[in-house]
Amino acid sequence: MKRIFSPILSFLLLASMAVNLSSCLKKDFDTPPDESSVDPHLKVTHTIAQLKSLPQTQIDSNVVISGIVCMDDRSGNYYKKIVIQDSTGGIEVLIDQTNLYTDYPVGRKIYIKCKGLSLGSYHGLSQLGNAPDAQGSLTMINGTTVGDYIVKATFPNKIKVDTLSYSDLKVPGQNVNRLNTLVAIRDVQFADADAGVPYAPPTATFNRSLATCSASGGIVVRSSNYANFQPILTPTGQGVIVGLYTRYDDAAQLIIRDTTDVRMYNPRCGNGATSLITIDSVRKLFTGGTVTLETYKITGVVISDKSTGNQQPQNLVLQQGDRGIVLRFTGTHTFNLGDSLTVNVTGGALAEYNSLLQISGLQTGAAFKSGTGTIVPRVTTIAQINSNFEAWESTLVKIANVTFPSGSYSGNKVISDGSGSITLYTIATATFANDNLPTGTKTITGITGQFGTTKQIQVRNLTDIQ
């Protein structure tokens, strides 16, 4: 009896333990309720403008302000400080903490209990922080105890951004209530020397000058080399910029939160209006030698591919309708196959380079990408290309039944389609230069060109050969 009793008893005990134990298993942790709609409704005693006008440095009384964060440190453009604004103005708040955007992101409403904090200013810009140091600079609020001063409220909140005129904002002294608030300016572009270049060099904080269509300078966009958008190139177009309005004594500055604050999608305005002409008309301006172009701009779609290295890095081929032309910039450009460009060719040199017509001497900032486009290649034969060559120069053609010689792409290779033959030219350093030419008959798409007396076609990449 005992022999059966013990195993039964133990089994029952084990089973009961198992049942009991599964109910003791730990459950997953609950997510706390979202507090972003919680507003503690502290009693606000001063507006930010009233705070800034307080006479003393250290605030001894119960001053409570409230504002919405309009600038944080998410991009790295600012470090250990945030800026808040209300309807009367804005102020910097210095806090000894990294990644403040996690607690106080742009759009968060906060209250600040200012008792014990100090007011200061940096070259005319108001700041809120801790007691000044021996040199008189304001120190930062202690990152560990900041909760004693800053009370979090709702998120997100929209900030009303006023659009102002460039000329008005050039003088910070006349816009004191706008300092440390967000402003927008229309019809503005980066000055010629500051367009199409990185927001800041890798080594230091830098100012990039803004310009209007008629005048340049007066307001700068100041960016830190620690900002994550530091290497991004400033746009070459014209449009709207939103930013935090600050000053360094009498110099007006705009601080952007990130590149979405900069919306310059219109074509640049030059010094004098440019008139739009077709590529066909530009080509007809060539009468031999070098023609310096007047105030013209052209549009077209890029049909060359810079990524495969079968064009000089400073060149591209632009086609509009059934006419095309080679553009040569003063430095390496960044435009890709398919970009739709508007190019200000004012002052460009229209000339033939070894019989190929091109406009050279253009600044990369003069070309402006407005979107993308497609050019449908002209389906034709080699014989027709050879007989219409000048008109069809620098355009995209498509030829069927092409046979190739043996060897690799690099250099001049004669191809024919039965109706005639033409040179297929590939730069020796192109990515596919050492690949073998195809066997059998293929359809080829390419750009027509010439070098001296040789008529040639250049493909963009290997998918041009099907």
Q: Which parts of this chain interact with other proteins (CB under 8 A)? A: 2, 6-7, 9-11, 13-14, 17-18, 21, 24-26, 29-32, 34-36, 74, 97-99, 102-103, 105, 108, 130-131, 142-145, 147-148, 155-156, 202, 226, 228, 230-231
Cβ closest to other proteins, residue 30 vs residue 162: 30
For other proteins, the closer CB: 56 or 144: 144
Q: Closer to other proteins at the Cβ: 21 or 273?
A: 21
Q: How, if at all, do strands 367-372 and 339-344 pair? A: antiparallel
- Closest to other proteins by CB, 145 or 292: 145
Find the shortest distance in angstroms from Cβ 439 to other proteins. Answer: 35
Burial per residue of 283-309, b for 16 or more beta-carbon CB atoms within 10 angstroms, e otherwise? beebeeeeeebeebbbbbbbbbbbebb
To the nearest whole angstrom, how small is the minimum distance from the Cβ of residue 258 to other proteins?
A: 12
In the bound complex, what is the minimum distance in angstroms from residue 19's beta carbon to other proteins? Answer: 12
Give the pair of three-digit tokens for residue 273: 């209006």
Minimum Å gap between C-beta 306 and other proteins is: 19
What count of residues does the chain have?
Answer: 466
Nearer to other proteins, 10 or 271 (CB): 10
The minimum distance between CB 259 and other proteins, in angstroms, equals 13
User: How does DSSP assign 300-355, residue by residue?
Assistant: EEE-S-GGGT-S-TTEEEEEETTEEEEEEESS-----TTEEEEEE-TT-EEEEETT
> Which one-letter DSSP state was computed for residue 381?
-
Reduce the secondary structure of 4-17 to three states and give it as a string: HHHHHHHHHHHHHH
∠ Cα 248 254 256 (to 5°): 130
Taking the least distance from each CB to other proteins, the nearer of 29 and 43 is: 29
Q: Give the residue with the Cβ less far from other proteins, 1 or 376.
A: 1
CB of 367 to other proteins, least distance (A): 24
Nearer to other proteins, 130 or 189 (CB): 130
Residue type present at position 293? L
Cα–chain center distance at 317:
24
Give whichever of 31 and 287 is closer to other proteins, judged by the CB atom: 31
Give the nearest distance from C-beta 111 to other proteins in angstroms. Answer: 16
Alpha carbon 441 to its chain centroid, in Å, reads 44
**92, HSE (Cβ side, Cα atoms, 13 Å):** 26
Q: Among residues 164 and 232, whose Cβ is nearest to other proteins?
A: 232
Short-list 97, 120, 107, 114, CA closest to 148: 114
d(CA 236, CA 245): 22
Q: What's the closest the beta carbon of residue 345 comes to other proteins, in angstroms?
A: 33
Question: Residue 182 and residue 242: Cα distance in Å, rounded?
Answer: 7
Phi-psi region of 180 (alpha: psi -120 to 50; beta: other; left: phi over 0): left
Instruction: Return d(Cα 328, Cα 306) in angstroms, integer.
Output: 13
Q: Give alpha helix (H) positions in 85-192.
A: 166-169
Please report how close the Cβ of residue 205 comes to other proteins at its closest, in angstroms: 14
Q: How far apart are CA 219 and CA 217, in angstroms?
A: 6
Longest dimension (CA), the chain: 120
What is the nearest approach in angstroms of other proteins to the Cβ of residue 7?
A: 6
